[in-house]
């Protein structure tokens, strides 16, 4: 992998002096240019450092870094020596980080001091040492700058098998425990490289910018591997779209003459709120193709993206895919999708029967393609159960889908117990488990509620052990942020004296969803053990977190 994304361009392709990344820091005063040759040299140094620390082919390395060049250097250094990287999004809490380090049994963590709290450092060290025999957490023992300075900048790549693992990336599981999705070297290289090239119509003089975080699959594929495999020049942005002003995205597009721009509907909806004024100050005429990913895009956001950002002349590519599957879709002028080469979708009904023509149902895939995940790390059984058990012979995406008369696929959103908040996928079980950790909570149920900017947000019903306890919303919100991270901050917390349950004790989430959305027409309530509960919950709806 590393040879293909770096050495090949520098040594064979004469792209050594080409810019690989324009790094733009959170503050506009911080920026830097990195050529392919410089990147290769940093990667080799880092690879030697990792080797020096005892990391060998097949070992796992956890990475918990903000969007700085060191993040890309470390992931490629892992690839170079055949170590498996496990990147944890920096917006996750330190507890989430610990959980992932333990599951992957990483021997090294590469991190930036400002992200780690004192306490966590202790926990990580402790737990990891107990769990793995030979693990040495070097954490504060070595400083990046010091070890990099003394490290040689040549390092022969480790030659890997096509099916060797390249990385683990955790995604939410319906049980609440994250699943370590495993991708392998050759299939992932092929699909990131091809989809990047064809979906974004890559040309050598493009300046490409994907605003995702590398802590998510979109960043892995479309900031690091896909663009580098094509010898592309990308923008790497550490900051926020509204800092220090709401025109920051547009300013960066003008500054680097970005030609291809890839972002998420949640960012578009956020920026739409400020109107057209912030865009008018900047020259966006370099833009040629716009992309969107992460969640279904609503018509209003799509139109604004197309007409205001793209000035009506740039195709919008809506790319549907998952951490697990590597695929993207075709450029088109409307937010609908055709499958990429090698991907064969089908739509099934509840009974697993295939539906033809204009229809709606479960989106599944008929056969695998090289870029699809290989397993869940150390849990092949969970892999089979999660993706292949419901409809034997098909991969189940967990998404709903509609096919129109022209054969386009329209993704309608998750139809399992997953939530998509600002493009971040999480499971209701995961948030419920975090709430239940609080000593005063006896039961919790979490549902989604539509949100203008985030797409969906978290509405939590909480039953307290002691009913007389006063409102503790702020405390619960804090504990979820501590446990999972700020991305899972609940928007609404409602005290629920009881939850609506069937006679067999199953929580009726459909009803809770309707209460959260204030939809009065509840339909058939005859299966409820105690229908009065619903009325009480309706009367006490929460309108603010």
- Interface residues with ligand WTA (CB under 6 A) are 171, 216-218, 293-296, 318-323, 397-399, 411, 413-414, 420, 425
Residue among 418 and 533 whose Cβ is closer to ligand WTA: 418
CB of 210 to ligand WTA, least distance (A): 11
d(CA 484, CA 385): 25
Count, residues in the chain: 545
Q: What are phi and psi of 538, to 5 degrees?
A: -60, -45
Strand pairing partners for 399? 414
Residue 460: helix, strand or coil by DSSP?
A: strand
d(CA 288, CA 209): 12
Residue among 143 and 341 whose Cβ is closer to ligand WTA: 341
Residue among 210 and 499 whose Cβ is closer to ligand WTA: 210
CB of 420 to ligand WTA, least distance (A): 6
Residue among 295 and 432 whose Cβ is closer to ligand WTA: 295
Residue among 189 and 444 whose Cβ is closer to ligand WTA: 189
Residue among 82 and 294 whose Cβ is closer to ligand WTA: 294
Which residues in 225-269 belong to E strands, given as ranges? 233-237, 260-263
> For helices 473-483 and 94-104, what crossing angle results, to 10°?
30
Whether the CB-CB separation of 290 and 309 falls below 8 Å is answered with yes
Residue among 202 and 414 whose Cβ is closer to ligand WTA: 414
CB of 72 to ligand WTA, least distance (A): 19
CB of 446 to ligand WTA, least distance (A): 17
Whether the CB-CB separation of 117 and 94 falls below 8 Å is answered with yes
Whether the CB-CB separation of 263 and 218 falls below 8 Å is answered with no
Residue among 234 and 319 whose Cβ is closer to ligand WTA: 319
Q: How many CB atoms lie within 10 A of CB 175?
A: 14
CB of 225 to ligand WTA, least distance (A): 14
CB of 410 to ligand WTA, least distance (A): 9
Of 121, 108, 98, 114, the closest CA to residue 74 belongs to 108
Whether the CB-CB separation of 464 and 450 falls below 8 Å is answered with no
Starting at the edge strand that comes first in sequence, how are the strands of the sheet with 409-414 ordered? Answer: 354-355, 345-348, 359-365, 395-403, 409-414
Residue among 40 and 373 whose Cβ is closer to ligand WTA: 373
CB of 425 to ligand WTA, least distance (A): 4
Strand pairing partners for 290? 261, 316
Residue among 77 and 212 whose Cβ is closer to ligand WTA: 212
Rama region for 201: left / alpha / beta (φ>0; ψ in -120 to 50; rest): left
Whether the CB-CB separation of 362 and 401 falls below 8 Å is answered with yes
Q: Which residues contact 347 (CB under 8 A, 6 or more apart)?
A: 354, 355, 359, 360, 361, 362, 363, 364, 401, 403
Residue among 399 and 432 whose Cβ is closer to ligand WTA: 399
d(CA 481, CA 485): 4
d(CA 52, CA 355): 56
Of 526, 535, 22, 518, the closest CA to residue 253 belongs to 22
Q: What are phi and psi of 324, to 5 degrees?
A: -80, -35
Residue 367: helix, strand or coil by DSSP?
A: coil
CB of 187 to ligand WTA, least distance (A): 17
d(CA 85, CA 534): 47
* DSSP collapsed to 3 states, 106-149: CCEEEECHHHCCHHHHHHHHHHHHHHCCCCCCCHHHCCHHHHHH
Residue in the shown chain whose Cβ atom is closest to ligand WTA: 323
CB of 337 to ligand WTA, least distance (A): 7
CB of 330 to ligand WTA, least distance (A): 12
Residue 33: helix, strand or coil by DSSP?
A: strand
Residue among 278 and 413 whose Cβ is closer to ligand WTA: 413
CB of 373 to ligand WTA, least distance (A): 10
Residue among 85 and 414 whose Cβ is closer to ligand WTA: 414
* DSSP collapsed to 3 states, 190-231: HHHHHHHHHHCCCCCCCEEEECCCCCCHHHHHHHHHHHHHCC
Residue among 414 and 509 whose Cβ is closer to ligand WTA: 414
């Amino acid at each position: 992998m590393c040879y293909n994304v770096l050495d090949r361009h520098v040594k064979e392709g004469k792209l050594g002096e080409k810019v690989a990344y324009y790094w733009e820091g959170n503050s506009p005063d911080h920026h830097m240019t990195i050529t392919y040759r410089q990147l290769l040299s940093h990667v080799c140094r880092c690879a030697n450092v990792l080797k020096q620390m005892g990391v060998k082919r097949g070992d796992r390395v956890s990475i918990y870094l903000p969007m700085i060049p060191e993040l890309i250097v470390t992931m490629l250094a892992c690839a170079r020596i055949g170590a498996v990287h496990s990147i944890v999004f920096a917006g996750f809490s330190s507890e989430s980080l610990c959980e992932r380090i333990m599951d992957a049994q990483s021997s090294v963590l590469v991190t930036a001091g400002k992200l780690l709290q004192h306490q966590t450092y202790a926990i990580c060290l402790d737990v990891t040492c107990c769990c793995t025999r030979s693990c040495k957490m070097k954490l504060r023992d070595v400083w990046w700058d010091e070890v990099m300075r003394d490290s040689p900048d040549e390092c022969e790549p480790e030659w890997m098998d096509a099916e060797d693992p390249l990385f683990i990336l955790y995604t939410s599981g319906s049980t609440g425990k994250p699943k370590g999705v495993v991708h392998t070297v050759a299939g992932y290289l092929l699909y990131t490289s091809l989809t990047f090239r064809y979906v974004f119509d890559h040309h050598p003089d493009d300046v490409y910018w994907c605003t995702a975080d590398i802590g998510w699959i979109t960043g892995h594929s479309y900031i690091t591997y896909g663009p580098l495999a094509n010898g592309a020049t990308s923008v790497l942005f550490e900051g926020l779209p509204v800092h220090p002003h709401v025109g920051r995205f547009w300013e960066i597009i003008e500054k680097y003459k970005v030609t291809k721009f890839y972002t998420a509907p949640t960012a578009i909806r956020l920026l739409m709120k400020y109107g057209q004024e912030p865009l008018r100050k900047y020259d966006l005429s370099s833009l040629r193709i716009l992309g969107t990913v992460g969640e279904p895009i609503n018509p209003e956001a799509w139109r604004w993206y197309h007409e205001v950002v793209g000035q009506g002349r740039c195709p919008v590519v809506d790319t549907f895919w998952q951490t697990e599957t590597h695929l993207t879709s075709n450029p088109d002028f409307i937010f609908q999708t055709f499958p990429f080469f090698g991907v064969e979708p089908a739509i099934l009904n509840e009974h697993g029967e295939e539906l033809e023509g204009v229809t709606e149902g479960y989106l599944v895939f008929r056969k695998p393609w090289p870029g699809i995940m290989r397993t869940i790390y150390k849990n092949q059984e969970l892999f089979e159960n999660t993706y292949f058990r419901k409809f034997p012979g098909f991969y189940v995406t967990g998404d709903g889908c509609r096919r129109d008369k022209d054969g386009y696929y329209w993704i309608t959103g998750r139809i399992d117990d997953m939530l998509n908040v600002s493009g971040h996928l999480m499971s209701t079980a995961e948030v419920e488990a975090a709430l239940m950790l609080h000593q005063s909570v006896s039961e919790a149920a979490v549902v989604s509620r539509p949100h203008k900017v985030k797409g969906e947000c978290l509405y939590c019903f909480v039953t307290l052990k002691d009913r007389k306890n006063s409102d503790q919303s702020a405390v619960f919100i804090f504990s979820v942020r501590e446990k999972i991270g700020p991305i899972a901050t609940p928007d609404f917390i409602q005290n629920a004296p009881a939850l609506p349950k069937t006679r067999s004790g199953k929580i009726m989430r459909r009803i809770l969803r309707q209460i959260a959305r204030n939809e009065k027409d509840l339909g058939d309530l005859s299966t409820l053990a105690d229908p009065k509960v619903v009325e009480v919950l309706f009367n006490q709806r929460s309108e603010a977190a």
